[in-house]
Amino acid sequence: MIASVQVWLLFALWSPSGTVWWRASGFLFGVLCCLYAVAWLLLLKSIIDAGFALQTGLLGWRAVARHRAPIYPPMPVTGLFRLCRQPIYVAYALTLWTAPTITPDQLVVSLVLTAYCLVGPLFKEARFARQFGEPFARYQQNVPYWLPWPPRRAAVPFADNVFVGAKAIPTSGELQDALRAASPRLTPPPTPLTSILIHGSTALLWVLLFARAFVLNGLLAWSVGVVYVSYDTALLAFVFWQTFGLAKTTAKPRSAGAAPVTLGVIVAAHNEAALLPLTLAALFDQSEPPELIVITDDGSTDETAALLQRQFGLVEPPLGALSAASSTHPSLHWLRLSHQGKPSALNKAMQLVDTEMVLTVDADTLLEQNAISAMRNAFAADPKLVAATGILTPVCGPSLSGRWFQWFQTYEYIRNFLSRYAWMQVDSLLLISGAFAAFRRQAVVEVGGFDPACLVEDYELIHRLRRYSVLNHRGWTTSVVGASRALTDAPGSVGAFLRQRRRWFGGFLQTQYWYRDMVGNRAFSWLGLLMLPIKAADTLQPIYGLTAFALLLVYLVTGRFVLVNPVIGVIGLKILVDFAFHLWSIHLYRRWAAPLVRISFASGLLAALLEPFSFQILRHLGAAWGWGMFLTGVRQWGVQHRLGLGVAPSDMRAGTQD
């Protein structure tokens, strides 16, 4: 009843602006009227599927009239709920966009309410997860969130959940129980009002700023761009401030009294026969080799098995078991699994390894000779350190597009690692690249290992470790180890790059949603009060960026140079700031991380000039696609074609420095 009154207030008491942009006529009017009617019928159908009596309030008042307790309908899974989990919200959004009249009023109302239709059901789902438990988790796995397209296939490898996937590896009960207890995905806490307000205000601010484009003139019409540029500049200023002392930092040798830390390496591989010899050679060549190396073969169908037997002297173990040690390399073992995805494979290996530290290394990642030694030093020096990342340098391949992507990604990775250092300074580091990450094994087991339901299992695990640490007063920390370096294969084509960013951003949104109780939470100190609110803003950063760019294009195409000139002025200023930051970051990076590839100032400045109009747009497009992935719940991605390391020049693989 209250919702009905609210709706009436909104629509009946609205003060129209008086501007009508467009009104359909003739045949088009008829078509739009039909679409509008169909949208309302879909809404009616979805309300019936959800339980008409419950949705309209009939259930409640009838129970009152009959003096009986209401009988609630079961969790809705039939009718339109077979196609997507939120058909009521989808149908309602359709009614917003099929009206035959377009006005600025309608646009603003449609944008705000569509945003609500996208985000609001997330809270409803958290309630359902508490109310219905495992059946709802299973329903979530099998039915997409919002858009019924593309249809979700059952038993998608990366969607497998250790609790619900029919083909899931039987990980130990201990790990499952720990994950269930520590994961807010499986045990969702209530969402604090602060978190709702922080996320909501980011969306509301975008709507208000975007609306200014239609009612204001001059630079203020591009408010969404001004705010976007200011936000990015503020982040750069923060990183500059926090990395100011980095130039004087040098790697600390292990102190004489520090106990040595045993270390095992897990290389999760699925059809990586072409690169495995290189990866293993880099591991065998370490200045302090690991005690154990486990090749976790995740159901490879290429030459991996033959390679491991022929070249590395391993005997094929039964499925799910660890092989005997290699006859040629005593530390090397082979764990053979059916294809379940990287997180499940890592979990299985994590349970079989008995070293204090575990290093996860992707099969397309080549470690520099002292990488493991530097990691051991970092863990030996700090008993509270539970996760650390090394410095990765991307390699994309020799093609023209490969070189283009490598150029931009090299500087992007530099900025990202400096940013991680900056956040580490305020004990808020969350991003540990799973391609090359070190963990204290006991801590990972204690929180339940990697979550197979997440698109970015490494990022999610760090959130879980940090949340668990605060809730259980462990004082755990995470770190970036500048002296530990590696080369990694990175996407070298537009398609591969967009797919990677889609997955990263989709996984980021998943994690941000699951861990929303930490956002704005004082118990998590800077992490809760600064880092996670910034991440909340980042959820809409691509939308801000793309909107700003689209508005600029519209101004250019329509010849509105009164608007274009001040906007170009702002962009010019931002490029100058980027120039300065690029120079600073390259200077620091050269000193701190002694990079594995040539890093030149001139090339960095050129990248700063071109990036806002090229690479950055692609990044935002990939991220916006990630929103789609998050909302539809699709969790499968295509095969990555390795273009970089397999064909990289040998001097690069050997680690030539500038």
Partner 1 sequence: MFYGACCHGCFVAGVGAMMIMMFFGMSRSFGVLHAPWSYLANALLLAQFPLLHSMLLSRRGRAVLSRLAPHGLGGV
Our CB check for partner 1 shows the closer of 378 and 518 to be: 518
Our CB check for partner 1 shows the closer of 48 and 381 to be: 48
- Tokens of residue 261, six digits: 């830390």
CB of 125 to partner 1, least distance (A): 11
Distance of CA 348 to the CA centre of its chain: 23
SS (H, E, C) 461-502: HHHHHHHHHHHCCCCCEEEEEEEEEEEEECCCCHHHHHHHHH
CA distance 329 to 310: 13
- Tokens of residue 320, six digits: 């799910």
CB of 254 to partner 1, least distance (A): 50
Residues in the chain: 658
Our CB check for partner 1 shows the closer of 123 and 231 to be: 123
Our CB check for partner 1 shows the closer of 102 and 168 to be: 102
Exposure of 212 by Cβ count < 10 A (0-12 exposed, 13-18 middle, 19+ buried)? middle
Exposure of 629 by Cβ count < 10 A (0-12 exposed, 13-18 middle, 19+ buried)? buried
* Angle between the N-to-C axes of helices 561-593 and 400-425, in degrees from 0 to 180, rounded to the nearest 10: 70
CB of 187 to partner 1, least distance (A): 15
- Contact in structure between 562 and 218 (CB atoms under 8 Å): yes
CB of 22 to partner 1, least distance (A): 9
CB of 13 to partner 1, least distance (A): 5
Our CB check for partner 1 shows the closer of 87 and 290 to be: 87
CA distance 46 to 522: 40
Our CB check for partner 1 shows the closer of 98 and 416 to be: 98
CB of 52 to partner 1, least distance (A): 11
CB of 78 to partner 1, least distance (A): 21
Which residues 6+ apart lie within 8 Å of 308 measured at CB?
A: 276, 295, 297, 314, 316, 334
SS3 at position 358: strand
CA distance 488 to 640: 13
Residue spans of alpha helices (H) in 489-560: 494-514, 525-526, 532-538, 541-557
CB of 543 to partner 1, least distance (A): 17
Q: In what order do the strands lie in the sheet with 436-440?
A: 332-337, 292-298, 263-269, 357-361, 436-440, 385-395, 477-489, 365-367
Our CB check for partner 1 shows the closer of 47 and 447 to be: 47
Assess whether the previous peptide bond of 260 is cis (omega < 30° from 0).
Answer: no
- Tokens of residue 511, six digits: 């994690």
CB of 199 to partner 1, least distance (A): 11
CB of 23 to partner 1, least distance (A): 8
Our CB check for partner 1 shows the closer of 58 and 234 to be: 58
H-helix or E-strand spanning residue 208: helix 193-215
Our CB check for partner 1 shows the closer of 36 and 240 to be: 36
Our CB check for partner 1 shows the closer of 47 and 387 to be: 47
CB of 60 to partner 1, least distance (A): 4
CB of 28 to partner 1, least distance (A): 14
- Contact in structure between 386 and 439 (CB atoms under 8 Å): yes
Residue 28: CB atoms within 10 A of its CB come to 11
- Tokens of residue 184, six digits: 């807010």
Our CB check for partner 1 shows the closer of 6 and 442 to be: 6
Our CB check for partner 1 shows the closer of 18 and 638 to be: 18
Q: Which pairs with CB-CB distance under 8 Å and at least 24 residues apart come from 564-570?
A: 566/218, 566/219, 566/222, 567/219, 567/222, 567/225, 570/219, 570/222, 570/225, 570/226, 570/229
Per CB under 8 A, residues contacting partner 1 are 1-18, 20, 23, 36, 40, 54, 56-65, 70, 72, 95-96, 99-103, 105-106, 108-109, 112-113, 116, 120, 123-124, 127, 190-191, 193, 196, 200, 204, 208
CA distance 19 to 504: 41
CA distance 580 to 608: 10
CB of 159 to partner 1, least distance (A): 28
Nearest to 569 by CA among 231, 217, 222, 238: 222
CB of 130 to partner 1, least distance (A): 9
- Contact in structure between 596 and 393 (CB atoms under 8 Å): yes
CB of 449 to partner 1, least distance (A): 30
Our CB check for partner 1 shows the closer of 121 and 528 to be: 121
The β-bridge relationship of strands 357-361 and 436-440 is antiparallel
- Contact in structure between 100 and 29 (CB atoms under 8 Å): yes
Our CB check for partner 1 shows the closer of 29 and 601 to be: 29
* Angle between the N-to-C axes of helices 134-142 and 104-132, in degrees from 0 to 180, rounded to the nearest 10: 130
CB of 121 to partner 1, least distance (A): 10
Our CB check for partner 1 shows the closer of 498 and 540 to be: 540
Our CB check for partner 1 shows the closer of 188 and 343 to be: 188
Residue 602: CB atoms within 10 A of its CB come to 7
